[in-house]
Structure formats: C-alpha cells, structure tokens
Amino acid sequence: QTCLLLAINKWEWMGRRNSSPPTQIAKRPLFFTPQRRPPPLLHQPEMAATSKSPTCAAVAALLAIVVAATIAAPASASTLTVFEGPGCSGKSMDVNGCGCFNITGYQGGFHFVYTEGQAANLYCGANCACRFSPTHLNVETRSCVANDFKGVDMFC
C-alpha cells in the first residue's frame, strides 16, 4: 500500500515542472468516488505504472536473497574424513550425513570436524557392529595413527 502511494505521489510530481518532489506520503483512498476520478491513463508516463520506491525495491531484493540462500544453502553437518594410508596419507573418504557408514579399508587415520551439534561414534566393526566400546566424537579431533575403526554412526 505504501509503495502504491509513493508511485501515485511520484506520478503527480512528474507532471509539475516547477515544484519540489513530495517529502511525505499523501494519504490517498484506494478507491475513487464520482467526484474524484482516477487520472487518465493515456497521459500517464510509462515508468510511473511500474516504478517502485527504492525502499520497496530494496526490501524485495533482500527478501529474494534470503529465500534463495535458505533454499540453496546445504544443511551444515559434521564431517569425518578417513584416510587409507598411515599418517593420514593415501586415499581419503569424507563421511557426512546421518546414520551408520562403513569405513573399512580406511584405518590410516581420521579427522572429525564437529559442526552444529552433530556428534558421532566410531566402532571397531563394519556397519557399526561391536557397539560395546564406541569412541565418541563431539569435538574437532584429528588422529593420524593406525586404528581399528571400521564403522561410524553420525547422529542427527
């Protein structure tokens, strides 16, 4: 409603060459009575029908950016990088998401990056078997020594 009123004020001002631009919004009815007819559309400048105030355009642009960022941004989650060779060398594999992951063959070391409260448990058995003695990860942890971990459960 405010954008509409600003557009009406701007249109009226554009017709007056020797006057200053409006400094405030004039309260206009959103309907027209027989005594007050709408301005003829034939004499209306082309830009006035589609122009918006800079404030309205800025708000619309900001809203579009926020919506796009919300849709496009991936959910932040913890990541476990496991390494095949000793001393965190050789091939590596990144594990992120929720649930149990098999990390057999990657016992050369690991680096856990803790994000957004997503903890993990490392297990000595593949597919998260051997649940009696898990290693709990809830802080950033790096270990580049050989280990027996063959499964990881990422909590969500």
Distance CA 108, CA 57 (A): 55
pLDDT, mean of residues 128-133? 80
Q: What is the mean pLDDT of the chain?
A: 73
Q: How confident is the model at residue 87 (pLDDT cuts 50, 70, 90)?
A: very high
pTM given for the model:
0.51
Distance CA 89, CA 105 (A): 13
Q: Please, what are the domains in the chain?
A: 2-72 (no CATH), 79-154 (2.60.20.30)
Helical (H) or strand (E) element with 48: helix 46-50
For residue 150, count CB atoms less than 10 angstroms from its CB and return exposed for 0-12, middle for 13-18, buried for 19 or more: buried
Buried b (16+ CB within 10 A) or exposed e, 33-69: eeeeeeeeeeeeeeeeeebebeeeeeeeeeeeeeeee
